[in-house]
Amino acid sequence: MQPGLPTIHISLSQFLPLRAAQALSFEPGTHITSTGALATRSGAKMGRSPKDKRVTRDPETEKDLWWGPYSPNYVMDDRTFLTNRERAVDYLNTLERVYVVDAFVNWDPASRLKVRVVTSRAYHALFMSNMLIRPTAEELANFGEPDFIIYNAGAFPANKYTNFMTSQTSIDLSLKHKEMVILGTMYAGEMKKGVFTLMHYLMPMQGKLSLHSGCNVGAEDDVTLFFGLSGTGKTTLSADPKRPLIGDDEHVWSDNGVFNIEGGCYAKCIGLTEEREPEIWKAIKFGTVLENVEIDPATREVDYESQKFTENTRASYPIEYMANARIPCVGGHPKNVILLACDAFGVLPPVSRLTLEQAMYHFISGYTAKVAGTEVGVTEPQATFSACFGSAFLMLHPYKYATMLAEKMAKHGTTAWLLNTGWTGGKYGVGKRMSLKHTRAIIDAIHSGELDQAEFVTTPIFGLQVPTSISGVPSEVLCPENVWGDKNEFATTLNKLGHMFVKNFEHFHDGDAFVGADMAARILTGGPKPLPEDNVAKTGFNL
């Protein structure tokens, strides 16, 4: 930044009222809701722009990063990065006011980094103050130079004629300069996920596994990690009133245990009710940022069912707003890892115990399914895969993260489970959604140790280990074929899903270059073994 650019450092006790007042004063369309939260609009972009994310390629890091057609890392050179940074800084220097946030990432002191955010919008400053770890007054006074800087000039467009640009939006990360530049989008989530992307490089390079997961802890200090894409129940199931929350989204597993990367939570708001998610409902108060929600101008009440602006409505709040948050946000080594899939085909069991090889395979797959009606043209369930349950944020090859996961699980005796929170008794439109009551009973049985003593049977095609009984769950539900009316159709659908997994895994054919041929082959043994479709048509349920 140029000398003379106005920056003001203030104490945490002053921060929330000041930033809220600044947003109300200087940002049209910003309001205080009936519960005291700040409701605002992000502009034309109401979600991330993954196709516009760029990573600079430089000799120091390029050998470690995952490049190629299926990688989320679209390349740019250093000169273009510096050009975009200059454009962002020039724009910020023309403004009457900019907002600066100095804060930390990583609750483990040994891994803590200093982050500085420079932005043109007050709501962005409040958002990142919520999402990062807030320094004390003393820490702020002695903050010094940051380890990473975000220049958010999202109100100003990128020059689409610049090399490597495909639009007027560009989100650029330089590992060499330890900087991020944002142009052409004011969606606040780009900052949060930019920091997470950086951690997906820095932490594994130190032997620490970065994870896109929720995390909670029990009375016996037993830690559970929850992985799952949107709609699988990750946020709901990790926010358990009986188990303190370590974090809702971003964690690192180090030699000392797990720790949260962030200082806040970022919850989807669509369909939010006090009955379904009481902890999140109560967290939406003064200091919380609500993005792109519709509010009643007279009552100031939020319509959480409304998709007037977007389905991707969001709430950002400090983790302390969760009544059962564990502060500091650290825990021991995980006892259980739970992979959540909303299987709209209705063929996966409600719960399966995974081998280490299966854990790696399903972690890399990151499977869930879209249901009919969620997008234009979607009339049948569609399989969706996101590597490591967060493909857009990966810096290294998925095999690298999966191998680290298996190594840590083996060292610390961690058990992996695959839970289907989707359909049972048939695919979407025929069967019904898995009972939340039964899913919670399954998770309780995992945490109590009941499933450690259970008897298991093996499923066809996927080779999953399924318990024969669980307290509070009807036994017939545990094996999905039992509740399908047409057993042959079940077999055909299960086999079809197996082929989808295998086809998706072709994206990672180059994994042996990152983990070695032996480990790559071992990972593949954890996948399904689908049969030729003609064979299934002949044998039917007798797979």
Residue 234 bears catalytic tag: yes
Helices 398-412 and 189-205: crossing angle, nearest 10°? 60
Residue 475 bears catalytic tag: no
- CB under 8 Å to 209, separation ≥6 — which residues? 203, 252, 253, 254, 401, 404, 405, 408
HEC string of 163-217? CCCCCCCEEEEECCCCEEEEECCCCCHHHHHHHHHHHHHHHHHCCCEEEECEEEE
Catalytic residue among 41, 87, 114, 234: 234
- Specify whether the CB–CB gap between 372 and 483 falls below 8 A: no
The DSSP secondary-structure symbol of 449 reads T
Residue 212 bears catalytic tag: yes
Catalytic residue among 200, 212, 251, 400: 212
Catalytic residue among 249, 326, 386, 408: 249
Distance (Å, whole) CA 422 – CA 430? 12
Residue 300 bears catalytic tag: no
Distance (Å, whole) CA 239 – CA 214? 9
Catalytic residue among 230, 355, 415, 435: 230
At residue 46's C-alpha, the angle toward residues 250 and 36, to 5°, is 75
- Specify whether the CB–CB gap between 421 and 339 falls below 8 A: no
Catalytic residue among 19, 200, 243, 314: 314
Cβ–Cβ contacts within 10 Å for residue 285, how many?
13
Residue 48 bears catalytic tag: yes
The DSSP secondary-structure symbol of 532 reads P
Residue 249 bears catalytic tag: yes
Buried-state track 322-333, b at ≥16 Cβ within 10 A, e below 16: beebbeebbbeb
Helices 356-365 and 517-524: crossing angle, nearest 10°? 90
Residue 193 bears catalytic tag: yes
- Specify whether the CB–CB gap between 201 and 65 falls below 8 A: yes
The one-letter code for the residue type at 250 is E
Catalytic residue among 19, 48, 53, 208: 48
Catalytic residue among 170, 197, 235, 493: 235
Tell me which residues are annotated as active site.
48, 193, 212, 230, 234-235, 249, 314
